[in-house]
Chain A
C-alpha cells in the first residue's frame, strides 16, 4: 500500500522538480533576472565587505581620538597641518610614479626581448622571469632586507671589493627611497612583462611582415605597430599597478618601517603607524581615506584614455 503510493508520489515530485527547474532555467533565459542572479554574489561581496567597511572607516575618521564623539572633518583639518603628512604625500607620489615608470619600461624591454627569441627558448626565460612576482612579497622583501642589512650587506661587500665606499642603503633618505623603489620594481616588472607578452602574442604577424616588406625598420615597427597595438594593455597594466603600488604596505613595512625620519612612509604604513602603533585609529583611518580620491582621479584619467582608444 505504502509502496504503491510512494511511487506516484516520487514521480510527482520529480515532475514538480523538473517543472521548477525548468522555470528557474526559463527565468535564467530572461536577461534581467539572469543578470541579477549572476551579479548577486559580487554585489554581496562588494556591499558587505568593501562598501560597508569603507563607509565605516569614513565614520571612524570623523571621531575624536578616544572615539567618544563626532568631530566631523577636524581630523582631516588637523592632518593637513602636519608636516609629516605632506612628507608622506610627496613620498607616496614619488614612489608610485618612479616605480610604475620603471616597471613599465623594464617590463616592456623584457617582453620585447623574450618575444624576439626563438619560440622554444622563450619558455624558460618567461618562467624564470616570473619568480619575483610569484614569491610572496613579504617574504622576498625579507630576503632583500637581509641583502641590505648594514653589517652583513651583500651589496656593500661588492662595492667594497670594487673599491667604492659602502652605502647606507636603508639609513640615508635618498638610498632608502631608492631601495624601496628597487624592490618594488624587482617585484612588479614580471607582471608587466607577462601582460605585454600576452599583448605581443596577439598582434597578427602579418602586420609586421607587410610592414617590413614596405621597408619599415624595427624602430618604425615598434613605433607604428607594436605600441599602438599594445596601447590598451599598457594603460590597463599601468593603472592597476599604480593602484597597487600606491597602496603598498609590505615593502616599506619590512624594509624601513617608514624611516629614516619618516622619509619613506607611504599612506598605508603611515596609517598603520598612527592607527595601530600609536593608537590613534581615527587619524589612521583619515590618512588611509586620503588615498581614495587620489586613486579615483588617476583612475578616471586612465580609464578615459582606455575608453577613447577602444572606441
Chain B
C-alpha cells in the first residue's frame, strides 16, 4: 500500500489546465504583449527618459507644464470634454425620460433615431455640420436674413463641443434609458405610499436610482471626446491635446519627446476618468425590477405636457439628424457655398468614389475584416480561458485585452510608429510602414468589444451542456469545436460585426500609421478629401458610403442577436 505514488497529485492540481490551454494562453499573452504592451510601454518609456541617454527623468513633463501651448491644450481638452458631456446630457435627458417614463407615441422610433449619430464617424459629421451651422451655413444665412444676426455654433472650441455632443449623446441616451427602464414601479409607489409625489419623488427616488446609468454614459462620452483626434483636426482646432500629440510626431518627428509626454497625459486622463466612474458605480447596481414587482410605471401626459414633450423631442431629433441630411445633400451637390441649399445636384462624386477612389473602400473592407477576424478568435479564446478553465492568471488576459479601451487611438498609433519603425523586414522596409500594422492596431483597439460579446455569449451557455459532451466521450478541444462554438455563434458574429463596423471608420490610430495613399482606408481617404474645398463632394460621398456600411452592420448585428436569442428559446 505504501507504493501508492502521491507526488503527481499536487502537481496536477497546480497546473490545473491542459497543455493545449496553457499554450493558447501563452500565445495570446505574447500577442497582447507585443502589440499592446510594447507600443504603450515604449510611449511611457520615451516620455520618462532623457533623449539620447535613456536615463529616467521628469524634465519632459516639466517642459510640458512650462509650455503655455500645452497647458492651454490640456485645459481646452478638459473644457471641451466636460462641455460635451453637459450638452450631450441636455440632448439625451429629455429623450430618455420622456420615452421611458411616459406613454409616448413613437418611443421606439425616437430610441432608434437616437442611435443614428453613432453610425456616423464624428469627423464626417463635423464637415456636414459646417454646412448647416457654420458661419456661412444654412442656419446662419437664414438667421442673418431674418434677424440680422449670426450665432457662432461652429467657432473654435464651440464647434468641437457641438459636433462631439451631437455625435456622442447616444451613449448617455442608451445607458440612461436602460437605467430608467430598470426602476421597478414599486420603488415609486412605495414613495408615493409614504407621502411623496411630483418633483420630490423624482429628485429623491427616480434620479438617484438612474444616476449610475447616467454616470456610465457620461464618463464614456468624456473619455471619447478627450481622446478624439480627427474631429478637432478637421475643424482646424489645433490647441487640444490629441491634435498636439499628432502634430508633434508628424511635423517634428518621432524622436521628439513632447508627443510622448502628451500621450502619457492622455492615458492618465483616460484611466482616471474610467477609474472615477468605476468607483462611483461600485456597489450601485440599482436594477430594481424584481420578482413580485409591477414592471414599469408610465405616466400619461396632460395635453400641455404632450405639446411641450413632443416639441422638445422633435427639435432634438432634428438637430442630431441634421448632419446626416447635410452629408447626403453635400454628396449630391455641385456647389454648396453661401447658400442655404446646394445650387444643383450631380452623381459625379459617387462615380469618383466608386471609380478611382474605390481603393479606399477595398482597403477598408480588407482591414476591417482582418481586424474583426483577429478579434473574435482572440475573444473566443480569452472568454473560454477565463470562464471555463482554472488557469492561474487567466484574469490577466481579460484585463490586458480590456485595457486597450483606456489607450487613446493616437497614443497607440504613436506607440506603433516608435516601437516598430526600427524593426525592418529582410528587404529593408520598416515594419511600421506595412499595412498589416494598421490591421493589428485596429484589432487591438476593437478587441474589448469583441471580447465582451464573446464573454456574454459564453456566459449564457450552461456548463452542463459541455459536461454532457465530455461524459459522452468528447475531449475538451472537440467539445469546444462541436458544442461551445456553435452555441456561441450568434454572439461571435455580433462581436465580429461590432469590431468590423467600428474599425471601418476608425481614424485616430490610422492617421498615424498610413504611410502611402495606396494603403489608406476609407476614413483616411475621407480625411484627405475633406482638406480641400474641391474634395468635399467626393468626401461626402465616401462619408455616405461609410455611414451606410456601419448602418448595415448595426442592423445586421441586431438581427443576429435577436435571432440567436430566439433560437435559444430553450434557455428559459
Partners in one complex: no
Q: Write the residues of chain B forming the contact surface with A, with a CB cutoff of 8 angstroms.
A: none
